[in-house]
Every structure is written in C-alpha cells, then in structure tokens.
Chains A and B, each alone.
Chain A
Amino acid sequence: MTSKRILLICRKAPYGNALARETAEIALAAGAFDQELAIAFIGDGVWQLLDQQDSADIQQKNHQKLLSAFELYGISESYAESAALAERNIDHSRLSLAAKPVNQQQLADLFEQADILLTV
C-alpha cells in the first residue's frame, strides 16, 4: 500500500471555538498511526503558533502544549503563511513550533502535492 500524503490546513485561531484543538488532534491521530502528514497554518491559524499561551484561567487546555507534542508524534513538517504572520505583526521569534514560513505560491504548490487535503 502506498502511503498517501496528507496536508492539514489550519485557518482558525485557538480557544474561541474547538476547531483548532480538534484539528491538532486529527494531526496527532494521523501521527500515532504513522501517516505521512504535513500541517500548514494560514490566516488566523497562525495565532495557534504564538508562544506564551496560558489558558488555565479560561479553563481550557493549553493549545501551545498540544502543538509541542507534534514532534513526539512524528509530525515534523509544518508551515506558516508569511503574509499572515506579517499582517498580524508576529515575529518568528514568537513561534512556539518551528513552522517554516512560506509564501502563497509555495502554499499553492503544497496543496497541489498533497493526496488528501483537510481544511479547517
């Protein structure tokens, strides 16, 4: 069986609703079953990457901690949309996950290369 290349596209900010967390959990499930998976953060999804998150006072699990488990789940390929980072004035030094900054052309290429696309 040839392995299919999955690309998860995250475009939601964390905490406001459950979508960011559920998408990350899909990534972990795929990683746990050794699927070939990459994850791209675009638009408001790049907010997920900010460091210094502390959600204890809103009684939610910390999204930054969840993303930090990616490495152990074998997910090492992640991308962040450069224009989205720039629009939000997010410096690379603030990214908790080592996501590779990519422009929109590169993202479009990644979308083309994937066998399975999942956008949330």
Chain B
Amino acid sequence: MILHTVNQSPFNNQSFADCLKFCRKGSSILLIEDGVYAGKKGTEYSALIESNNNINFYALAVDVKARGLTEDLSPAISLISDREFVDLTVTHKSVQSWF
C-alpha cells in the first residue's frame, strides 16, 4: 500500500483532489503543512474525507497545532506525531508526495 502525503491547501491547489482521485481502497493519506487545512470541520474537503471511509486519513499534529486547528479537525482524521509519521513511511511500500 502507498502512503500519500499532501502538503498544500486544497482551497487553492489541486494536490488534494488529485491525490484522492488516484487513491486505492486501504491506502493512507497523510496531511502535512498547509495540507492539514483539508481537515477543517464543516468544509467540502472534510466532507470528502468523511465519505471516503475506506481510506485512512492522518494529519501531522504539530502542523495542525501551529495553524490553530487542533479543536477543529474532522473526527475521521487521526492526529499523529513526527515519530508516528516515520513509522507510517516504514510500514508502507512507498510514499507518494503531492505538492
């Protein structure tokens, strides 16, 4: 399985949409840097995340916290530490970066 990372805001960039298009059932998408904005509760992108329940969604906790979104992220996303980010890259066959 592939670990996809997205580091751009979905509101002004196609990375997140493109990533979702090519994502298979059981894959993982990790939101980092400005990519975490896709997880903001009550937006069209968090709705997409919530409807794709066969994909695992993660967000890097430090990036979420920096942007003031810790209390405001879709419950469909798991917050992970830097250490868990490393673990994810190790447990996946490859990493695909969408930027």
Residues of A with Cβ closer than 8 Å to B? 11, 13-16, 43-44, 47, 50-55, 57-58, 60, 64, 87-90, 94
Top 3 closest pairs, chain A to chain B, by CB: A89-B42, A16-B34, A55-B66
Measured CB to CB, the nearest residue on chain A to B35 is: A16
- B9 and A13 form a contact (CB under 8 A): yes
Contacting pair B63 A15 (CB below 8 A): yes
- Do B71 and A16 touch across chains, with their CB atoms under 8 A apart? no
What 1/0 mask marks residues of chain B from 31 to 43 whose CB sits below 8 Å from any chain A CB? Answer: 0011001001111
Residue of A nearest to B70 (CB): A52
| Choice from B34, B37, B41, B68 contacting A51 with Cβ under 8 Å | B68
Known contacts A15-B34, A89-B41, A89-B43; decide if A50 and B68 are in contact (CB<8 Å): yes
If A13-B34, A58-B62 touch, whether A87 touches B68 (CB-CB below 8 Å) is no
Q: Which residues of A contact B12 (CB under 8 A)?
A: 11, 43-44
Task: Report how far A48 CA is from B43 CA in the complex, Å.
Answer: 17
| B69 interfacial contact with A, CB 8 Å | yes
Quick check: A54 and B37 within 8 Å, CB to CB?
no
A89 to B71, CA, bound (A): 13
* Minimal beta-carbon separation of B90 from chain A (angstroms): 22
Contact A54 to B68, CB < 8 A, known contacts A16-B7, A16-B34, A89-B41: yes
Find A57's partner among B8, B34, B40, B66 (CB 8 Å cutoff): B66
Judge if B65 is at the interface, Cβ distance under 8 Å: yes
Given contacts A13-B37, A43-B11, contact A53 B67 (CB under 8 A): yes
Residues of B within 8 A of A52 (CB): 68-71
How far in angstroms is the closest Cβ of chain A from B60? Answer: 9
A43 vs B88: C-alpha distance when bound (angstroms): 32
Kindly provide the distance from the CB of B50 to the nearest chain A CB, expressed in whole angstroms.
13
Q: Tell me whether A50 and B43 are in contact (CB under 8 A).
A: no
Residues A58 and B66 in contact in the complex (CB < 8 Å), given A47-B37, A89-B41: yes
Q: Which residues of B contact A50 (CB under 8 A)?
A: 67-69
